[in-house]
Amino acid sequence: MSGVDDLLMEVTPQVLLKAYACGIFPMAESADDPGLFWVEPRLRGILPLDEFHLPRRLARTIRQGIYETRVDTSFVEVMEACASRRSNRDQTWINGRIKQLYTELFHMGHCHSVESWHNGELVGGLYGVRLGSAFFGESMFSTMRDASKVALAHLVERLKAGGFNLLDTQFNTEHLSQFGTREIPASDYEYLLEQALETQGDFFAIERA
């Protein structure tokens, strides 16, 4: 683990991309802690794109068109919402340095947000990092029922259309497992990551279909 001062001085967007290519990513202890530390899970969460499970209720919500899905229109706002303290989560690992780094990656074209809107208001979404044909999901939020889930379903559809090979969820949670996520050993993840970095996914292919 790197020291706080070293990380604050050395971590740049370019270093961050190299870290993702090596299978590691940064986190902070809390929103108020200026430091970062590297994480390399022994068991990695992934969502196999061809095994994505769309729950029946969510499919109905999507058909009803309750939410409008947008991409990359409010990246900073999505990050801020993911970092906000809510009743079910008192702490967040997204601090100011992470916000700065990932916003820079967004302007470089390596970060994206998928957003759910309702009556002109941002009510859910997710963001993550794109590298090769891998997408690394970072965080998601929702202020209305199923809003973040709709964003996830759209992300999977978009990654499939763009020829992506890996959707990394970092960890597996009860919330994500309903969609088909699972944990794999680090060695298996490294192989999948290596394969995904050999090809280039097209995040905007769905617009041209």
**pLDDT digit string (tens) for 49-72?**
999 999 999 999 999 999 999 999
Tokens describing residue 70: 């947008």
- Taking only the tens place, the pLDDT of each residue in 19-60 is 999 999 999 888 888 889 999 999 999 999 999 999 999 999
Set out the domains of the chain in order of their start, with CATH numbers: 4-208 (3.40.630.70)
Q: What's the Rg (C-alpha) of the chain?
A: 16
Q: Which residues, in sequence order, are bridge partners of residue 89?
A: 86
CB neighbour list of residue 18: distance below 8 Å, 6 or more residues apart: none
Average pLDDT for the chain: 91
Ramachandran region of residue 139, left (φ > 0), alpha (ψ -120 to 50) or beta?
beta
* Whole-model pTM over 0.75: yes
Report the alpha-carbon distance of residue 54 to residue 178 in Å, rounded: 8
